[in-house]
Every structure is written in C-alpha cells, then in structure tokens.
Amino acid sequence: MSAPAPSPLATVVADPAHAPARQDEVLTDAALAFIAALHRRFTPRRDELLARRAERRAEIARTGTLDFLPRTAAVREDPDWRVAPAPAALNDRRVEITGPTDRKMTINALNSGARVWLADFEDASSPTWENVVGGQLNLIDAYERRIDFTSEQGKSYALKPADELATVVMRPRGWHLDERHLTVDGRPVPGALVDFGLYFFHNARRLIDLGKGPYFYLPKTESHLEARLWNDVFVFAQDHLGIPQGSVRATVLIETITAAYEMEEILYELREHASGLNAGRWDYLFSIVKNFRDGGAKFVLPDRNAVTMTAPFMRAYTELLVRTCHKRGAHAIGGMAAFIPSRKDPEVNEVAFQKVKADKDREANDGFDGSWVAHPDLVPVARASFDAVLGDRPHQKDRLREDVHVRAEELIAVDSLEAKPTYEGLRNAVQVGTRYIEAWLRGLGAVAIFNLMEDAATAEISRSQIWQWINAGVVFDNGRKATAELVREVAAEELAAVRAETGPDGFAAGRWEEAHDLLLKVALDEDYADFLTLPAYELLG
C-alpha cells in the first residue's frame, strides 16, 4: 500500500481544548496552505544555511579573524547600484518604537508619536502559541480599527486617527527557531516562515489598500546568502498571492559580527525590497562573544554597560553602517534607548533622559536617519535630536560619509577598550539573566528590569559574558577569579534575594528555579549553546 499523499496544509499541533481565542481566524485553510508552500520551498535552504553558520564559526575559531569577502568585491566596488526608493510610509523614520504585539502595546505603540513601530515577534516576544496567534490577531484588528483594551485598573485604550498612527514594520523570528505548533510533512515549520507567512497572507493586500505595505525587520542575519533567501521568500510570496512585486520592504538588523562584513552584499541581495540597515547592540556584542569565545584575552569584553557605542570597535561598526546605507540609498537606523521612566524618582529620569539625548544627538550628527526607543516617553527626546539635524528633511541620505574608511581589523578590535570585567558586572549579569529568563518562561518577552527594557538579546549577552569570563580565567577587581563555583554562589544569592523580594507565594507562583537552572546551564556548560532560547523553548508552555 502506498503512503498517503502529504497534506497540502500545515498541520496544527496544539491542544484544541486550550487553543488561543479566535485561532481559526488566523489559521484558515488558505493560510495554512501558504505556510506549507513556504516551508516546502524554503526550509531545505534554511537548513543548509544554518549548517553553513556552523562551518563559518569553525573557520573563525581556526583563524581568529574575519575579513571582507574577496569573492564579492565586485559588488562593493560597483558604484552604480542602489536599493529601491523608499515608499512614502517609510521615507521619514526619525523615531521608531519597539515592542511586542500584545494588545495594550499594539495600541500604545501605534499611538506613541513615533514614525515607525517595530512590531516584534522575536526578541521582545516569548513565543508561546498564545503570543504567536494573538500577536497576529492584534495586528489584523489594528488595521481593521476594531482594537481596544481596558486595563485591570479600568483605564481604556483606543487608536488615534489613522494619520497619527505609526507605520508598522514587523519582525519575525530568526532562522534558527522552529515553531513546534505547526508542522509540514512531519517537520516543524521555521518560526520565521510562520510569522512572516501569517502576517503577509492576512495583511499584505490590506496594508496596500491603506496606502502602506508589508514591511519587515529581518533579525540575526549572518550572511548575504541568508538575505538572498529572504529575498526569494519575498518574490515567491508576492507572486503566490498576487501582490505587486516590490511591495515588500525589509530593514536588516546588522546584529551579528559576520553580517557587519557583508553590509553592502546584504543590501545588494535585497535591493528591490531593501529599506535600510539597523545597528543593534546587545545581539551584536553577543555575536562577537559567540564567534570569538575561544580567541583569548584580546576578545574578552568588559561589563556590558561599559561597552558604549563610543567604543572604538563600535564606532567603526556604526560609521561603516551609515556610509554603506547612504552610498546605496538606504536608511541607516540607530540603536535602542532602553530606559523605562521611573514613576517614583524624577531625578533618575532626568539623568537618564540626558543620557538618551546625548546618545541620540550623537547618532543624528553621525548621519543616522532615525533611531529606536523602548518607551513612548522617550519618543519626544529622540525626535528632538533628529529634528535638530534633519529639520524638515525626511532623512539625510545625501550625507555620504565618504570620510569613513573602516579596516577589517577595526571591527573586531575589542582590546581597544580600557574597561575590564568587574565583580559587580558578573552579579548584574546573573541578576538580569535570571530575572529575564523567568519572565520569558511565563510568556513575557519584553521585561522592565532595573529601569531598563530588556529582551532576549540582553539575556544572551549576560550569559555569554559569564561563559567567556570563566573560560578566559578573568580575575575581577575584587581579586576573585571567574569560576563556575563563583557563579553558582552569586546565582544562589540572587535566588535568595528574589525569594525575599517576592515573598513565599510570589516566588512559588513564578518559575524562578527553572530560570536559575537554565541560566547556569547556558552559562556554565562546556559546549556553548548557540542560542539560549533553544533550550528555553523546550520549557515554554
């Protein structure tokens, strides 16, 4: 007897008794057929590219360096090519707000006064099935203007008029994460294709009718070949659903060290769909540690808060990004202002706002066309910095930064920093890592910790630095050596502090023990986990 023919639909693998509300509105047969088509066509290439990541990491471990690619020199040297012109809705991007797609955030972000909202299914979202499906529904409801929200305190939230709303740029998950709740031919579908596919299927035509379009941020890209895969996904999706080619626009986060050496090639591969590049921070530092973790003392990073964007190797990265974008007609978008204003301490807010202003002033004066904030109260601060430089212009892409000349070695000159790891830096890494992972396991991807909005990238750099400091035998400022035993001691102290802070009932209601154990696993295991969200996903409800 022959085997049954494969289903033309993606299969939902979830408990029907606990299905998210209105799930059937998202997981229609037509949408599941589209997901299946994307999976069958593109997942094999995704698999090959993930294997190539491992090969490249092995090469970095062997050589201890990186360089611009000789085989793509012709792309970099060709002065003539440009990315597609920006659509009107993405021409002015001076302030962008980021956040997950829960109902309250959807309304607040759209109403924030920012030009763009990065609607995040990735680092700021814990990928519970409820969040995956609910986030899609919230965006559909927002475009249909049938979204509202009432808090437990009775405060109501509703959308402003359409012309006052931010433009949505949606960020799907990275290529490395699978979605276990959707399978095709017995295999889980990559989360990237689930997030992209459901959003595109339901909203591409709707957004075009609204005078905008299906716009995306592409995370954790490691090479121009991965950008080429995304471009092929866009071409196929537009053709498959009868959407005009070129409707998609993508901004790529340059948040891996390997991608920093392929900025022009990434824009070239996406040029009919490219909108710009973004300079991330924590994921970029995480990528440096991950790729050069066995590179010796010259690659040891100090405390994460000591690595500012003014560090020489970070300046090289951001200035190269601005020059690359403007050379090719793309937007250069700056990094995150993650401060969360205090309701109790105006002095703390004043100091933090001045730091945010200085950071955004620097970005605007360096040539960036816009930047990120994590909270609506920071929108006017960042806007003032860019208004002062841009005036009535939508961007400053005419500022070509031809004065910038970055050598390959400057991008990885970590030893140009004078700061060193400290014991308090270790304690902070344990505190933030534990607190973030615990929230993530409860389904929260964007978490306010010590007045900063933290996401998965924060936890990644925290656990990576712990791993690196131990393996490099770092001796801290108090004379104590970084060891697994010391980390376990600090982690136990943090767990006790949380127990005292939350009380017995609050502690029991959380997932603190699991978070503690997972942090120690990904920070102390000899075999370094590529992403902590992979083992964490196995624990996610």
Q: Which pair of tokens denotes residue 245? A: 């080619």
> In angstroms, rounded to a whole number, what is the distance separating the alpha carbons of residues 75 and 454?
37
Identify the burial level of 115 via C-beta atoms within 10 angstroms of its C-beta, where 0-12 means exposed, 13-18 middle and 19 or more buried.
buried
Q: Angle formed by the axes of helices 456-471 and 512-524, to 10°?
A: 50
H-helix segments, 395-482? 423-441, 456-471
Q: Single out the residue of 156, 150, 164, 172 nearest to residue 101, CA to CA.
A: 172
Query: Which of 53, 171, 323, 463 is labelled catalytic?
Result: 171
Cα–Cα dist 390/296, whole Å: 43
* CA–CA dist 170, 206 (Å, integer): 15
Please provide the size of the chain in residues.
541
How far does CA 533 lie from the centroid of its chain?
13
Both tokens of 371, joined, read: 């930047």
Give the span between the Cα atoms of 175 and 294, in whole angstroms.
Answer: 25
Tell me which residue has tokens 């816009």: 370
For the chain, state the CA radius of gyration: 23
Kindly give the residue spans of alpha helices, DSSP state H, lying in 270-412.
Answer: 282-291, 312-327, 346-366, 379-390
216 within 8 A of 248, measured Cβ to Cβ: yes
Q: Residue 232 corresponds to which tokens in the numbers above? A: 């092929």
Q: Residue 278: in which H helix or E strand, if any?
A: strand 274-279
Residues 6 or more apart in contact with residue 508 via CB below 8 angstroms: none
**Cβ 147 vs Cβ 107: under 8 Å:** yes
Give the residue from 2, 14, 441, 437 showing the smallest Cα distance to 188: 14
Task: Assess whether 455 carries a catalytic annotation.
Answer: yes
Which segments of 101-198 are extended strands (E)? 116-120, 148-150, 156-158, 167-171, 178-184, 187-190
Contact 534, 176 (CB under 8 A): yes
In Å, what is the CA distance from 222 to each residue of 49, 229, 257, 331? 9, 12, 8, 20
Is 166 in contact with 109 (CB distance < 8 Å)? yes
62 neighbors 187 (Cβ within 8 angstroms) = no
From the list 102, 141, 455, 463, the catalytic residue is: 455
Q: Which residues are catalytic?
A: 171, 455
